[in-house]
Chain A
């Protein structure tokens, strides 16, 4: 049985770890623990550190409740808007050839590369009282900056690319033969979109929407510039956390963490749904990362 024995040396060695690999893995784990996991735990630990009563009081505070409500409202407007924009942009980028297509592609990515603070400032410069349209808007009694419309505008801007960036590679891979087939079968443009295109990309769309939502609810920089920090009026949850924390007292810090834990929870929920989508429909999501 010498031949059989010799096979033993070919047994898979995937589990054997060399010293170099071990160091790298340890380093990665340390980074994940120190930079990601620990802060998350600290948020929850601090939130409940002063007891349940402080936590409830922090959440029940009218300003805090307004902030939660405002965050959800802004997300409820910005996310559907970005979904429609993203779908339209992806459709345009993959179904038509036109002059300036490259430029449009670059513009879609712009919010990724521009600092959110700059984005907020741009909003102020354009829609602020002394901005381009600000005077006209003010004259008609419309307040954009230091009001909810401004928050929505800034949020739409920073969360814009997620849906389009998720859809474009997938739609490019799938091509449009099915759409052509639908057309020759007599379907109208809307029928093609709702019955053929949308079902094809639904999971990628949901994935993009979730990412866009996470960004919308967590955005600080751009929103901070346009908000004006009016507690109970224009403070979203991230801004409220910041403001309460800067209040300074020990109970204020606990309250800030309580609110932060709420924000973290929202984000974790989004991530959980995202993981679930990935797990169930991973094959239908075309990731740029996976393609290159």
Chain B
């Protein structure tokens, strides 16, 4: 079922947990709410589950007012970070709970309940553990019981509140793939709250990045990563470099260096926030084209080498990512001097309360040391110096 959230606001005293949040979720879609703690993502989930009430706004499920229903009538499955299993009940009793508490007229027969529990336990791969108590299960098993319990009432919407937050890294990754499969096969509209960006980007059809009670950006995982709409998203997702710069006609002045390329004319004479992914600081094939830098640190990080660079000029530090092959081929070591080219920079400018975003792709031969008077004339550089 589709969900339409409109202008949801929730305040606790003067603290604003949600501020006019609007979001549409399509039927069967898997949406991840991603943000740091205190960004309001859990509050949103609790409101959808009926455990909290908004101060303003509306939520429609297939056109029906969801907020008008009490939590027990919403048929919204909620899975908690710390499972919230009933400790005094076996796995079977936990999963059957939602069916057994139904009014007699709607309650399936004893046999039907047990059949459904069996089927669910098969689905979450816990067939042999039906008679165990939660205390006798591992974290991953408990979370799957919690999921089966939520699915037992055939919810129209599944809410997952940091479901893997309390599990160790390996279990988390395994469960992630498994959950994606399960969600697809059920075709269940699902909202996942997480602060783990890998989890969000890997699992979700769309990611909603939240910060301080507001939505910063809604997009597919690749849009979120490749085209971050705000400086917050750029900094929050993946690794990034942030440098302040100044635009001067066809050049971007950056830490004592001038980069030529096509720049929007109306940015001329403005201070800009420049953001750059480490993989966009590539090693130049010619030492005379690019920005020279000293390698401060080289660190192996998975399949790539992560380099900390001290850029020539005003000593700006930058992080770059290179393949292990490149680094070995050039025989690079800490302390070496290299020349790098910046391939794609994102420029954010504050415009009337919002953020203007421009992508700047320098000319391949457009990077030169910022020497001579012309560059020092930039007001921002003067101020810095």
Contact = CB atoms under 8 A, between A and B. Distances in A.
Interface of A: 177-178, 180-188, 191, 195-196, 199-200
Contacts of B74: 184
B91 to A, nearest CB: 15
A172 to B, nearest CB: 16
B84 A195 contact: no
Nearest to A183: B71
B281 to A, nearest CB: 46
Contacts of B51: 180, 183-184
Interface string B255-298: 00000000000000000000000000000000000000000000
A182 B49 contact: no
Interface stretch (B58-66, B97-105, B230-238): B97-105
Contact of B101 (A178, A180, A188, A199): A188
A191 B88 contact: no
A184 B88 contact: no
A72 B88 CA distance: 33
Interface stretch (B75-83, B206-214, B218-226): B75-83
Given A180-B51, A181-B78, A186 B102 contact: yes
A183 B76 CA distance: 10
Contact of B153 (A178, A185, A195, A196): A185
A195 B78 CA distance: 19
Contact of A188 (B50, B72, B80): B72
A199 B88 contact: yes
B14 interface: no
A188 B70 CA distance: 10
Contacts of B49: 180, 184
A196 B77 CA distance: 18
Contacts of B78: 180-181, 184
Interface string B87-117: 1100000000110011000000000000000
Given A185-B97, A186-B98, A188-B72, A180 B149 contact: no
A175 to B, nearest CB: 9
Contacts of B98: 185-187
Of all A-B residue pairs in the complex, the 7 with the closest CB atoms, nearest first, are: A185-B98, A177-B84, A181-B84, A187-B101, A199-B88, A184-B78, A186-B72
B49 to A, nearest CB: 5
15 contacts: A178-B87, A180-B49, A180-B51, A180-B84, A181-B80, A181-B146, A181-B149, A184-B50, A184-B71, A184-B150, A185-B153, A186-B75, A187-B72, A187-B101, A200-B88
B84 A185 contact: no
A186 B88 contact: no
B73 interface: yes
Of A182, A185, A196, chain B has the most CB atoms within 10 Å of the CB of A185
A184 to B, nearest CB: 5
Contacts of A191: 101
B88 A182 contact: no
Nearest to B106: A186
A199 B97 CA distance: 14
Contacts of A200: 87-88
A239 to B, nearest CB: 42
B133 interface: no
B84 to A, nearest CB: 4
B380 interface: no
Interface string B133-156: 000000000000010011011000
Contacts of A199: 86, 88
Contacts of A186: 72-73, 75, 98, 101-102, 153
Given A178-B85, A181-B146, 10 more contacts: A181-B86, A183-B51, A184-B49, A184-B77, A185-B150, A186-B72, A187-B101, A195-B97, A196-B86, A200-B87
B81 to A, nearest CB: 9
Contacts of A184: 49-51, 71-72, 74, 76-78, 150
Given A184-B71, A187-B72, A188-B72, A178 B102 contact: no
A186 B75 CA distance: 8
Contacts of A182: 86, 97, 101
B162 to A, nearest CB: 13
Contacts of A181: 78, 80, 84-86, 146, 149
Contacts of B88: 199-200
Contacts of A177: 80, 82, 84
Nearest to A186: B72
A158 B73 CA distance: 43
A183 B50 CA distance: 9
Nearest to A188: B72
A185 B78 CA distance: 8
A181 B89 CA distance: 14
A196 B98 CA distance: 12
Contacts of A188: 72, 101
Contacts of A183: 50-51, 71-72
B77 A178 contact: no
Contacts of A195: 86, 97, 101
Nearest to B79: A181
A200 B98 CA distance: 18
A70 to B, nearest CB: 38
A178 B73 contact: no
A101 B238 CA distance: 46
Nearest to A196: B86
Nearest to A189: B72
Contacts of B97: 182, 185, 187, 195
Most buried by A among B85, B86, B153: B86
Contacts of A178: 84-87
B276 to A, nearest CB: 43
